[in-house]
A = this chain, B = another copy of it.
Amino acid sequence: MNRTSEKIDVGIVGCGYWGPNLIRNFLSHKGFGQVIGCDLDQSKLERIQQRYASVKVTSDYEDLLGSNKVGAVAIATPVKAHYQLARDALQAGKHVFVEKPFTSSSAEALQLIKLADEKNLTLMVGHTFEYSPPVVKIGELISGGTLGEIYFISSSRVNLGLHRKDVSVIWDLASHDFSIIFSWLKTSPLRITALGKDYVQRGIPDVAFINMEFPSGCVAHVEVSWLAPSKLRRTAVIGSEKMLVYDDTEVMEKVKIYDKGVDYKDPDSFGEFQLSYRAGDIISPQLENYEPLSLEVAHFFECICNGKRPKTDGFSGLRVVQALEAAQSSLENNGHPEVIR
């Protein structure tokens, strides 16, 4: 597939829970042409056609890959199938978009990165939150130095949610926090510890408390659970200059910036050191209003056309998978700290 400005036909593989959202967004982007839904389950394909009359469907992945007109594939299947589907697509010369978490293992992730590189194809991971208005805004505040040095981040993502049967709550929910936090800090953690438990389904942890340390000295805590009485989507970012809270359950004030902090003054001559506490206005910035997935799809198109590296490229997907592996390993090892290589 050449990088062209023609319309690109795109296949969406996996038409269950999330796939239809991809289909809807690919349909409404002018750069993409025919949208094709692909799933082994006929009933899902039928539902797609009822809702989106212009979408074609197929249960034959090879057929999809065999079509010259299809320039890109988006994969929204269970995680364990990501690697093979993405590999086949890359080998068939398609640009590939993979839903998060990228792959089941970092080894798989590395192979896909290498393959896309060899083939000079766009490989993008669907870390949707990184395209959402509050996460983008906070990223700008951090990069721009508004918060000062980032001391620590504490995040809770819990509610009585659907228990997944294929992956733990870490792979399901913490993958969001990992991609968000790593993008803000522009780095991976050095060390991870995790404590978790499998209360409802044996072998599949449904609650986890994860601690991470970053090279800068920043630490982060992530709590995820499918067992909680009320929904929390709350992330506090504590900086030396300002602090903020990002609450994704809020409708109007998702981000609040607090002009608060502690100033440390070295002792004069003999005296004790002094701490002074600052408190100022609280500001909830106006955020742009768009669906993150539409921005994500537009970014995928742009990267395909001009060959630039996606914001959420394979390495972005890889570092999240590495952290998920480390967290899982610590969890299975009684909370022993795992060092990320």
Contacts and interface: CB of A to CB of B under 8 A. Distances in A.
Nearest to A278: B160
A336 B334 contact: no
A275 B227 CA distance: 13
A312 B263 CA distance: 38
Contacts of A258: 229-230
Contacts of A335: 191, 193, 211, 213, 335, 337
Interface string A194-236: 0111011100000101010100010101010111111100001
Given A154-B209, A223-B221, A282 B253 contact: yes
Interface in A240-260: 240, 243-245, 251-253, 256, 258-260
Give the number of copies in the complex: 4
Q: Helix, strand, loop or mixed for chain A's interface?
A: strand
A280 interface: yes
A238 interface: yes
Contact of A334 (B191, B195, B201): B191
A201 B263 CA distance: 10
B221 A195 contact: yes
A264 interface: yes
A160 to B, nearest CB: 5
A299 B321 CA distance: 52
Interface stretch (A38-46, A63-71, A86-94, A283-291): A283-291
A185 B228 CA distance: 19
A213 B191 contact: no
Contact of A281 (B213, B221, B284): B284
Contact of A53 (B53, B229, B256): B53
Given A193-B195, A195-B213, A264 B200 contact: yes
Given A53-B53, A236-B229, A199 B151 contact: yes
Given A151-B207, A152-B197, A228 B238 contact: yes
Interface string A135-158: 000000000000000011010100
A277 interface: yes
Contacts of A110: none
B245 A238 contact: no
A245 B259 contact: no
Given A196-B219, A207-B219, 8 more contacts: A151-B227, A160-B243, A209-B219, A228-B238, A229-B236, A229-B260, A230-B252, A283-B283
A330 to B, nearest CB: 9
Contacts of A226: 262
